[in-house]
Amino acid sequence: MIDARKTGVTTRLGLTAVAVLLSAIIASTSLVTAQDACLGTAEALHLTDAQKADLKSRNLRFGFLTNNISDDFSRTLVKGGEDYAAEVGVELIVNSADFDANTQLSQFDALVQQQVDGIFLTAVDAGSIGQAVRRANTADIPVFIVGGAPARGDVISVMNASSYQGSYDAGIALMDKIGTSNAKIAVLGIPFALQTIRDREKGILDAIGARGGQLISMQSDFSQDTLLQLATNVIQANEDLAGIFATWSLAVNAATEAVKQSGRDIPIAGYDSEAPGYAELASGSTPIVALSGQQAAVQGRAAIEGLAQAIFGATLCEEIITPNLLVTADNHKDMWPVQYPGTPAPWE
Amino acid sequence: MTSPTAELERRARLRRAMIATSGIYIAFAVLVVALAMISPAFRSPDNLVNIGRQVAILGIASSAMTFVIILGEIDLSVGAVASVSGVITALALSAGIGPLAIPVGLAVGAGFGLLNGLLIVYVAVPSFIATLVSFFIAQGLALTLTTGQTILFAADGFRLLFATGSVLGFSSAFIWLVLVFGLMGWLLARTRFGAHLYAIGGSQDNARMLGLAVDRMKIVIFTLAGALMGLVGMILIARIGNARADGAIGLEFDAIAAVVLGGTALGGGYGSILRTIVGVMLIGVMNNGLAILNVDFNTQQIIKGVLVIAVVLVDRWARNIKMN
């Protein structure tokens, strides 16, 4: 005999389950729609001709703060921003903090005081800039940041190079070049607590793991000369060292010079492909296997376009990733103009 | 004939005096022996040559800083002046002026040193401020000249002469270091110039009363230090094969640390090149040993801090024995 009460309960439960399922589907669909609605790539930020004309008529002023200007990445980032700002008639106020968080804070506050129309920055310390970002929020100034979200305040988006993937790809190229299992790898890096650095380190560690290698040393410093010393010491101490991975430009230079001076055949891969790295790849005899290059010029342009899109009312996705280039001896001539447009190549 | 008690007392005094002046050397010896026992790679002859090459830049900067500190002054422009000298030398080499790039690099360093001396003597600003002024000007000039770029240059002869060349197994950078240590040590310990430097550093007022040319000494010492920074800049770019505006930034702090670690008094009037050599070698051996042992960066910083305070305590203990 069928229990009517039980049947009723079952039916109700069934209906509730269906309702929950439907709600979940509707919610996820709307989420996907919202995600689709936001601009999530550098290409998606591109302005139409009409928007460019509109921008020119507005006479906007943007602040453009970098953590330093002493590397090719920052220099190219600024140039990318300046070139595009000039094209769309935006006045750009550029400043470098020379890796000093307090200096950057002062520069940021000065921009808020000047009531600029937008601020783009590569933060020295995303944590300490939060209070200033809040002040910009209060003044209705959109803030677009590279590297990591500030601890406080709202930004329109965080732009990042694909640090993990770039490092992983270069790491795999290194491990494949070595070609033996259990290869001993040393990593030369920078003692910066930035997310991008952590991602680069994770990328190479995963690449080493994926090919059955072994990390035997992890050294880091800010100075090129100290990095050269560290690389020399690591080579000296490990007769069976199979490869070196450098997580930033000066470490690439230092590792290359240390390997050359040692006279040993130790392949190198790294993150950051700057002029000295390109010159090495062009030399025809280099220990460098592959370098992962950030597209700084693309990011510089995206900085201006992102702020402009926010002013036009568009929503930017929480994170915008710009893909890296994998530069090798075979493709370096093609990659240089992509990475450093308008800049003479070091071998010319 | 001396009594046994007097003889024992004389020996004890001698032993105390030896310990008092050897605290830093004892600490250095303990560090070297410990590292040699732990790591076969550390005690290999190649690694000793390696350490010699690596301490060249710090050693030359520290010998210049020793003179400045004995004078009772300080030089905060060391790293920036070495960087700008290196940058200008690299640009000169790129421009194809060949060996003339060498006097250019030295002149840039000496010029900044002269500026320091003139500011201290004729504008009467403390050396802390005067050298900070030079630091900013030199750093700004280097950044302007490089526009933030790494300056590449191709000059194999230059690189061989200043860093990558080798004589009897020793790198040319190390040979420059030995020459500078020898010259500076001789100047300080064996000449009237050195005696006047100690006297002025001990008490400028007394030195003036004795008729010593205090102002001229200050200008000479800072110009000499600047010229040595020109040499440091050239060794720096020769080692790595490129020049950067921030190439030697922060070198001043390492140099001050090496000099003070060696036992030279920050107040002036006391110190020696030999003590600075030990201070430099302590830092060099420590950096090399920790990297050879594959100690990671963060742990290295902690160990370095502990080792430095251990060395200072050993030195203080030795001095206390002397005072007692």
Predicted confidence (pLDDT) per residue in A226-265, tens digit:
999 999 999 999 999 999 999 999 999 999 999 999 999 9
Predicted confidence (pLDDT) per residue in A283-306, tens digit:
989 999 999 999 999 999 999 999
**Residue whose token pair is 């770029």:** B149
Predicted confidence (pLDDT) per residue in A70-118, tens digit:
778 888 899 999 999 999 999 999 999 887 888 999 999 999 999 999 9
Distance, in Å, from the CA atom of B90 to the CA atom of B313, rounded to the nearest integer, reads 43
Partner-chain residue, chosen from A218, A224, A236, that has the shortest CB–CB distance to B41:
A236
Fold of the B45-292 domain: ABC transporter involved in vitamin B12 uptake, BtuC (1.10.3470)
Which residue type does A137 have? Answer: N
**A70 and B143: CB-CB below 8 Å?**
yes
Which residue type does B298 have? Answer: N
* Amino acid A198: pLDDT: 85
C-alpha torsion sign, points A282, A287, A293, A296? negative
* Amino acid A15: pLDDT: 59
Predicted confidence (pLDDT) per residue in A198-212, tens digit:
889 999 999 999 999
Contact (Cβ atoms closer than 8 angstroms) between residue B180 and residue B60: yes
Contact (Cβ atoms closer than 8 angstroms) between residue A188 and residue A286: no
Q: What is the rounded radius of gyration, in angstroms, for the C-alpha atoms of chain B? A: 21
Distance of alpha carbon B108 from its chain centroid, rounded? 19
Contact (Cβ atoms closer than 8 angstroms) between residue A304 and residue A84: yes
Residues 6 or more apart whose Cβ sits within 8 Å of residue A10: none
What is the residue-averaged pLDDT of chain A? 88
CB < 8 Å to B151, chain A: none
Distance, in Å, from the CA atom of A204 to the CA atom of A271, rounded to the nearest integer, reads 10
Gap from B284 CA to chain A (nearest CA, Å) = 10
Distance, in Å, from the CA atom of B31 to the CA atom of B33, rounded to the nearest integer, reads 6
**A69 and B148: CB-CB below 8 Å?**
yes
Which residue type does B87 have? Answer: V
Gap from A149 CA to chain B (nearest CA, Å) = 25
**A237 and B293: CB-CB below 8 Å?**
yes
**A254 and B147: CB-CB below 8 Å?**
no
User: Cβ of B83 under 8 Å from any chain A Cβ?
Assistant: no
- What are the angstrom distances between the C-alpha of B90 and each of A284, A348, B84? 23, 18, 10
**A72 and B149: CB-CB below 8 Å?**
yes
Show pLDDT as tens, one digit a residue, over chain B (324 residues): 557 777 777 777 666 656 656 777 888 898 899 999 998 888 888 888 889 888 999 999 999 999 999 999 999 999 999 999 999 999 999 998 989 999 999 999 999 999 999 999 999 999 999 999 999 999 999 989 988 788 999 899 999 999 999 888 899 999 999 999 999 999 999 999 999 999 999 999 999 999 999 999 999 999 999 999 999 999 999 999 999 998 998 899 989 989 988 888 888 898 899 989 999 999 999 889 988 888 877 788 888 788 778 777 776 776 676 565
Contact (Cβ atoms closer than 8 angstroms) between residue B108 and residue B128: no
Rounded mean pLDDT, A139-151: 88
ipTM of the complex: 0.80
Asked if pLDDT for residue A329 goes beyond 80, the answer is yes
Q: What is the domain partition of chain B in residue ranges?
A: 45-292
Gap from A237 CA to chain B (nearest CA, Å) = 5
Q: Which of residues 79-138 of A touch B (CB under 8 A)?
A: none
- Which of B44, B164, B244 best probes binding to A when mutated, by most A CB atoms within 10 angstroms? B244
Gap from B196 CA to chain A (nearest CA, Å) = 36
Q: Which domains does chain A have, with CATH numbers?
A: 43-161+296-323 (3.40.50.2300), 163-293 (3.40.50.2300)
- Name the 3-class secondary structure at A157: strand
Asked if pLDDT for residue A279 goes beyond 50, the answer is yes
* Amino acid B77: pLDDT: 97
| Percent of chain A whose pLDDT exceeds 90 | 69
**A253 and B242: CB-CB below 8 Å?**
yes
- Name the 3-class secondary structure at B12: helix
